[in-house]
Amino acid sequence: MNNMNRQNLTTILKYAKRLAPIPNVPYLYQPVFQEIVTILEELGIDHKSNATNFHHGVWDSDEYALYIYFQRGKATSPLIIDSHLDHPGFVGTGKDSALALGSVGFKRINQLLQTDKLDINVYNEQGHKISNGILDSPITNSRRPLYTVKSDCEIKPNYHIQWALPEFGISDSNIFMYSADNMIVTDIALAIIEDIVANPIKYKDLNVMFIFTFLEEVFEISASGIASRRKTPFMKLDDSSTIIVLECMQLVPLLKKDTDFQLKRDLSRFRVLDDNFSYEKSSRKEYESSEHVHSLYNLFGVQLPNYYDGPLIKINDVDCVYGLHFPSASNRAEDMLVQTALDLKIKFQHTISGGACNGTAFSLFPITSNIASVVVPNPWKHNMDEQGRLVSEKVNIADISSVYSLITEVITRYVDLEHVSPHEQSMSKQLKTTISIPADILKKMKSEREWLAWRAKPQLSSGIFFPEKVIDSFRITSRSVTSKFRELLKIHL
C-alpha cells in the first residue's frame, strides 16, 4: 500500500473509531447525526443559513437526511453520493420489552434463543451506554416483532438496544465493526469530504452533494421520501442527476424466485420470505446452487458476485434494475465507475446481484437513469457469520481503500457529467429490457414506498420511535391511517 493510500486509510479509520461507539438503531438517528454535524463544524463546514456561498461546503437537514453540498468551478450536472446511517437493532418500549427494527433475521434470532439468551447493550436516547442486559424470548402474542429484555437499569421508551459485540477491531487485512453496514462507507464519505475541504486545487470543479439518510434498514424509507418528492434542500432531482449509492452489504446472486412477480403481488409476504432466507445459515448453500441461481448470469456471461474479487459496481437490486423508468437510456453512473475502475486497475466486480439498498428507492420513482451502487463486500452482514452466530461485521481493508480511490477519482475526473461516453461493458440498458416489472406491481411498490415515507415523517422529524406526548401519538396514529388510505387510493387510480 503506497503512502497516499495509507494516509487516506488513516483518515477513514479515524472516523470509523470515532463513530463506532455510537448506537444507530433505525429511527433513533440523533446521536450519530449530532456527531457528524460536530465533525462538519470541525472541518469548517457551516449550516447553509450561515454560509455566504457553497464553495467551502455547507450542510442542511430535514426529516429524512443530512445533506452536505459543494459547488465550485466549472462542474455542471450534479453528482449525488448517498450513504445511510442506521443499522438493525431494537428500540425499548418501556415495558420490559424491545421492538426489533430492520432485518435482524427474525427466524435466525428465534432459533438462537431456543438454546441461550442473547447479550445486549442498552443506550439512552442521547446514545450513552448505561447498562448491559439480555434479550430473553420473543413475545409470541404480539403482531410486532417484540422481545422480552432484562437489564439492571430501567429500559425506557426510545432507548437503543444493540447486540453486545465488539464495536471496532482491526487485523492485517480486515476491519471488524458492529455496524460496518453502513458506517464504514459513511466513514469513507467523511474522509472524502475532509479531503475536499483540505485540497481546493485538487477539487477545483465540483457540483457534489453527499446525502446521509437516516432510515434505510426499514424499506429504504428516507431515500424513498427524498425520491418521491424529487428534491433536496439544495437541488431538484431530475435526469441531469447522477446518483452513486455507497453500501456495505452481502454479495449474493439474483435467484430465480427474485423475479417471480406473482409472488411480489404480496409484497409483505415476499419480504418476510426474503428476510428469512437471507439471514438463515442453511440458505447460504442455495445461493451457490445452479438450481436456484438466475439464468441471467449465463445470458450476460458474467460471474456470480463473491467476497474475494473486490468491491461491486451494482446496477440492480432484488426489487428492480436501477433507472427502470428510462429503458432506452444508458447509465452514466455505471459507465464512469466501470471506466474509472479499469483505468485505476482496481480489483472490482461488475455483475448482476441480489440484495437491496437505497438504489431501489431512487429507481422506483422516475428521476434519472443514472444510478449505481458501489458496494464494500460484507460477508457477515447484519452480524451473522457462516455458522449463524452473532458477530461483528467484517470488511476487507483493500476493498475500503479501493472504494475511496474510485469515488475520489470519479469526483475529480468527471466535471461534465452530460458527456460521459457509454462503456462497452455496461449492462444497464439490456438488463432493464430483460427484467420488465408488470405495471401493476411497479405501481404497488411505488405507492407502498410513498405511504411508508409519508407515514414515518413525524417520527423522523423528532428522531424517536415512540411518541413522548399524547399529541404526538395522535399525529402518528392519524397519519398512519391517512397514509394507508392514500396508498390504496394511488394503487387503484
Which phi-psi region, left, alpha or beta, contains residue 278 (left: φ > 0; alpha: ψ -120 to 50)? alpha
Taking residue 190's Cβ as centre, other Cβ atoms within 10 Å add up to 26
Q: How far is CA 212 from CA 59, 187, 375, 427, in A?
A: 11, 11, 16, 28
**Tell me: the pLDDT tens digits for 285-326?**
666 666 789 999 999 999 999 999 999 999 999 999 999 999
**Tell me: the pLDDT tens digits for 245-257?**
999 999 999 988 8
**C-alpha cell at position 268:** 409483505
- Mean pLDDT across the stretch 46-69? 95
* Contact by Cβ (8 Å): 70, 196: yes
Where is average pLDDT lowest: 61-65, 137-141, 166-170, 269-273?
A: 269-273
Query: Smallest Cα–Cα separation from 83: which of 10, 166, 12?
Result: 12
> In this model, does residue 421 exceed pLDDT 90?
no
491 pLDDT band, cuts 50/70/90, is: very low
Farthest-apart Cα atoms in the chain, separation:
61
CATH superfamily, region 3-86+169-434: Zn peptidases (3.40.630.10)
DSSP string of 232-296, one letter each residue: -SS-B-STT-EEEEEEEE-----BGGGG-TTGGGSHHHHHHHHHHHHT-GGGHHHHT-TTTB-TH
- Mean pLDDT across the stretch 10-28? 98
**Tell me: the pLDDT tens digits for 112-134?**
999 999 999 999 999 999 999 99
Number of H helices, E strands in the chain: 14, 18
Cell 428465534 belongs to 110
Give the separation between CA 312 and CA 316, rounded to whole angstroms: 11
* Contact by Cβ (8 Å): 118, 163: yes
Taking residue 171's Cβ as centre, other Cβ atoms within 10 Å add up to 9
* Contact by Cβ (8 Å): 221, 452: yes
- Say what the pLDDT of residue 286 is: 60
3-state secondary structure of 440: helix
What residues form DSSP beta bridges with 92? 98
Entry pTM: 0.93
Residue 469 backbone dihedrals phi, psi, to 5 degrees: -125, 155
**Tell me: the pLDDT tens digits for 150-179?**
999 999 999 999 999 999 999 999 999 999
* Contact by Cβ (8 Å): 161, 98: yes
> In this model, does residue 371 exceed pLDDT 80?
yes
Query: Smallest Cα–Cα separation from 163: which of 393, 376, 351?
Result: 393
